[in-house]
Amino acid sequence: MSKDTFCTFVIPTRNDSYGEFSPEDFKNYLQVFVDQLSGSARNFEINVVQWNNIEQNPCLSELKKFIRHAENVRINFFSVPKIFHDQILHSEKKPLCCEAAVNVGLRRATGEFCCVKVQDAFYSSALINWLRQGTVEHGRLYRAIRADHVVQRTLGFNERDLADAEVHRYQQSGTYSTNACGDFMLMSKDMFIRIRGWADPGVVVSTGSDGITLARAICHGLTETILPMDFIVWKRCHPNMYRMRMGSGPPKAWVAYILRIKERFRTFPPAVICHRVFLFLKIVVSGVTNLPNAKERGVPVDNFARYSLKFYFNLMFSRIHNGNSINWGLPDHEFNVH
């Protein structure tokens, strides 16, 4: 495999059955992905970030010996110990902080482009063919739609079976829609560096980080490109998927987020708080006055308003405009690479 890597895919996961997804399931899904990318003239990299690993359980890197390898696909395993997870607000509520795990993988990516991939998803053949040989530009952010398919266990990938399965499609309704944008968001590694990685609110129970990441990329000049309808991310659906995502119990996402803002406020002098509140209100007024222009451009106003307010709120009351932190992706730490 040459040194030039076209795209790095980052997969956050754990070495247990988190999300009702066993290591055996992970191996099967990873094998399908490697087989799909195999034989392309482009070189790919897969960074698997094992977050908050359980020391008593085997490392996922041991699965490499059971995977058929491809010359143009390199697989790296990073193991992040529990001590880093414990530093996150309300870490006891959920064992996986996807945003932080993703940033570890993005920091260490060698690809010209990067994309975050959930562990329990397949890419349609049309999407794979585009990744293998399609035109990808640095000034664009590429998105694909998601379809949830209900399966008990998948040992292989047959797209015809998925087409007949019970499916719920998440359609992209146009520019500035954040609907399911985190399931496929491909942009250059340079842009991920500029926006300081995936938006990380610093709390383990959160929602909307993918929308904030999208907002930051667009605000830095990228053109959003929604791929054709047959470019599908087939995501495995199970009854507890959202319960697992939101954690084991209270505080709920919005409560945890407010607590995070409260913690942040403690570090701000009163003058800074007043200035940010004023600036927030000013930007909200500006955003409202821009709604007619957005409508003329064909942007759904409801999505634009919801998306804009969420972004502005984060902009004022966290450090989202500077990235999630100075040390996003924990660059000063060396994690085990297998």
Structural domain total, the chain: 2
DSSP string, 230-249: T-EEEEEE-TTHHHHHH-SS
Tell me if 329 is assigned to some domain.
no
266 band by pLDDT with thresholds 50, 70 and 90: low
Same domain, 297 and 238: no
Same domain, 67 and 200: yes
Instruction: Return the pLDDT at 281.
Output: 66
Question: What is the phi-psi region of residue 32: left when phi exceeds 0, alpha when psi lies from -120 to 50, beta otherwise?
Answer: alpha
Same domain, 11 and 150: yes
Tell me if 209 is assigned to some domain.
yes
Tell me if 199 is assigned to some domain.
yes
Tell me if 36 is assigned to some domain.
yes
Q: Which domain holds residue 314?
A: 268-321
Tell me if 242 is assigned to some domain.
yes
Gap between the Cα atoms of 220 and 217, Å rounded = 5
Q: Please identify, among 248, 280, 295, the residue that sits at the C-terminal boundary of a domain.
A: 248
Same domain, 176 and 236: yes
φ, ψ at 90 (rounded to 5°):
60, 40
Same domain, 234 and 283: no
Same domain, 103 and 244: yes
Instruction: Kindly report the number of other CB atoms within 10 A of residue 185's CB atom.
Output: 21
Instruction: Return the pLDDT at 325.
Output: 46
SS3 105: helix
Tell me if 258 is assigned to some domain.
no
Instruction: Return the pLDDT at 265.
Output: 57
Reported as type and span, the H/E element at residue 15 is: none
Determine contact, residues 185/213, Cβ cutoff 8 Å: yes
Same domain, 54 and 148: yes
Same domain, 139 and 285: no
Gap between the Cα atoms of 200 and 87, Å rounded = 13
Q: What does the DSSP 8-state code read for residue 71?
A: T
Apex CA 195: angle with CA 193 and CA 200, to 5°? Answer: 105
Instruction: Return the pLDDT at 218.
Output: 78
With CA atoms as reference, report the closest residue to 120 among 85, 92, 147.
147
Same domain, 97 and 226: yes
Determine contact, residues 45/139, Cβ cutoff 8 Å: no
259 band by pLDDT with thresholds 50, 70 and 90: low
Q: Does residue 219 carry a pLDDT above 90? A: no
Q: What does the DSSP 8-state code read for residue 227?
A: P
The CATH number given to whatever domain includes residue 130 is 3.90.550.10
Gap between the Cα atoms of 226 and 185, Å rounded = 10
pLDDT tens, 27-62? Answer: 999 999 999 999 999 999 999 999 998 989 999 999
| H-state helical runs in 185-296 | 189-194, 209-219, 241-246, 253-265, 270-289, 291-296
Tell me if 337 is assigned to some domain.
no
Residues paired with 138 in a beta bridge? none
pLDDT tens, 140-153? Answer: 999 998 888 776 55
Tell me if 131 is assigned to some domain.
yes
Q: Does residue 273 carry a pLDDT above 50? A: yes
Average pLDDT over residues 271-281: 64
Same domain, 212 and 86: yes
Same domain, 180 and 315: no
Higher-pLDDT residue of 327 and 33 is 33
Same domain, 242 and 274: no
